[in-house]
Chain A
């Protein structure tokens, strides 16, 4: 690998970057049940329990799918299909299963089916269209710079292979272990880690190259 010297320096003693996927508001009545218990209930015929699982997970799932596909409409369609398949294949949910891993497994399959059906790889979205939504930047002054940064990263993400994007995004979900990610991707744990790290290096290279190419944006 070429030695990269152009990157800005950052303090290295910072704590590891940990993502907590923001959970949606949870109904206190069913709050006590775990995802797994809820899905077991769905499997055993209490279909209403899927509503609680939807409320807990559709946000992160949708976010994942948007980043994966770069298409908001496709992401909504795929998320819908994922919950549809949960109902349809509820009998296949295993007693020793992990709901989140199962959900992303279905998500990945549904996304693949979606692209096969539409016979096209996901097109990179015009980053400008993504700025119309949910931008949490608190200060108007920071906004332009943040937007540009997000737009660059979106572009960089869009240039990764879908497989690379997939493993990288999955690896940022802290509730998934690498064993589960490996199960979702149907490969070994070692291979999943190597792929995730390779994807991160590739994203970094593209991201910093774009930053250099458009100095006026950063």
Chain B
């Protein structure tokens, strides 16, 4: 080992972190080289002096200020935590009031209903009861229809279009299918599906509930293309009940001019 190599290792030798093993060759060189000895000893002496510098002690202000600052932070952290807790509590109250409580009430009513049907003695069926059951069944059917509609919503646009077009091909679609078509006309996000649904409804325009369904959907419709098609449908069906709605459209200046023109023409024909 020459002097340059040895002096490059001085840093390692002076650094107390390193194991002794890696420095044996430097020590061997040092033992035989007075020049490097002087270099090394001067560095070691400097470090010793540096390490021997008395540690300055801070004044009492540092500790006092630190604990004052810590207390302040603790208080503000506590107030933030309290505010967060209040917020969570308020959130829970809202959740309970608007969601969990109605759900709970519904579950209780359902439970009561099932318990009643299972354990209560079957009452003799009089005419009033039969009527009530019929109306209940109708409601259940309308729930089924809603579910059907929501299923209609979940499929892709082309699949929903297929469903609607399949309805057109049927010779005698049943009431539920027609309801689904009105549902699609009212709710489907795709313009194409709504227009197809309206086309599929043309053969059934003689049914009052189809006409009233289309009429009820008209104010909600935003697309001028579908609006005009609906107006044409109602005019073609000679639906006098559409007159007030069409007059409203003619008066409403925010509606597309093409739509208002169609409504005006329709009024003239009705």
Query: Are the CB atoms of A200 and B14 closer together than 8 Å?
Result: yes
- Residues B1-40 near A (CB distance < 8 A): 7, 10-11, 13-18, 27, 30-31, 35, 37-40
B143: CB under 8 A from chain A?
A: no
Query: Are the CB atoms of A7 and B66 closer together than 8 Å?
Result: no
Known: A3-B35, A10-B45. A17 touches B51 (CB 8 A): yes
B interface size (C-beta, 8 A): 48
Query: Are the CB atoms of A130 and B46 closer together than 8 Å?
Result: no
Most A C-beta atoms less than 10 A away, residue of B13, B52, B81: B52
Query: Are the CB atoms of B57 and A59 closer together than 8 Å?
Result: yes
Query: Are the CB atoms of B47 and A48 closer together than 8 Å?
Result: no
- Residues B58-72 near A (CB distance < 8 A): 58-59, 61-63, 65-67, 69-70
Query: Are the CB atoms of A18 and B16 closer together than 8 Å?
Result: yes
Query: Are the CB atoms of B30 and A12 closer together than 8 Å?
Result: yes
Query: Are the CB atoms of A150 and B53 closer together than 8 Å?
Result: yes
A45 to B74 Cα, complex, angstroms? 9
Query: Are the CB atoms of A84 and B69 closer together than 8 Å?
Result: yes
A131 to B39 Cα, complex, angstroms? 30
Task: Flag B220-256 by CB within 8 Å of A: 1 or 0 each.
Answer: 0000000000000000000000000000000000000
Chain A residues contacting B50 (CB-CB under 8 Å) are: 153, 157, 168, 172, 203
Task: Flag B96-119 by CB within 8 Å of A: 1 or 0 each.
Answer: 000000000000000000000000
| CB-contact partner of A149 in B18, B38, B49, B81, under 8 A | B49
Chain B residues contacting A3 (CB-CB under 8 Å) are: 35, 39
| CB-contact partner of B14 in A16, A67, A174, under 8 A | A16
Chain A residues contacting B142 (CB-CB under 8 Å) are: none
B42: CB under 8 A from chain A?
A: yes
Chain A residues contacting B44 (CB-CB under 8 Å) are: 10, 12, 14, 17
Query: Are the CB atoms of A45 and B41 closer together than 8 Å?
Result: no
Q: Count contacts between A and B, CB distance < 8 Å.
A: 150
B54: CB under 8 A from chain A?
A: yes
Chain B residues contacting A8 (CB-CB under 8 Å) are: 41-42, 45
Interface size range on A against B = 35 or more
B127: CB under 8 A from chain A?
A: no
The stretch from A28-36, A93-101, A103-111, A133-141 touching chain B is A133-141
| CB-contact partner of A172 in B10, B30, B41, B47, under 8 A | B47
* Distance (whole angstroms) from the CB of B145 to the closest CB of chain A: 53
Query: Are the CB atoms of A153 and B53 closer together than 8 Å?
Result: yes
Known: A66-B56, A150-B53. A207 touches B16 (CB 8 A): no
A51 to B13 Cα, complex, angstroms? 37
A4: CB under 8 A from chain B?
A: yes
- Lowest 6 CB-CB distances: which A-B pairs, in order? A10-B41, A7-B42, A18-B16, A197-B11, A204-B46, A66-B56
9 contacts between A and B (CB under 8 A): A12-B31, A12-B37, A75-B56, A137-B54, A150-B52, A177-B17, A197-B11, A200-B11, A200-B14
A: residues with CB less than 8 A from B are 1, 3-5, 7-14, 16-19, 22, 45, 47-48, 50-51, 54, 58-60, 62-63, 66-67, 72, 75-76, 79-80, 83-84, 87, 130, 133-137, 149-150, 153-154, 157, 168, 171-172, 174, 177-178, 193-194, 196-197, 200-201, 203-204, 207-208
Other than the given A12-B31, A16-B14, A76-B61, 17 more pairs (CB < 8 A) read A7-B39, A8-B41, A12-B41, A14-B44, A47-B70, A48-B74, A51-B67, A62-B57, A62-B58, A80-B65, A134-B55, A153-B49, A153-B50, A168-B50, A172-B50, A208-B42, A208-B46
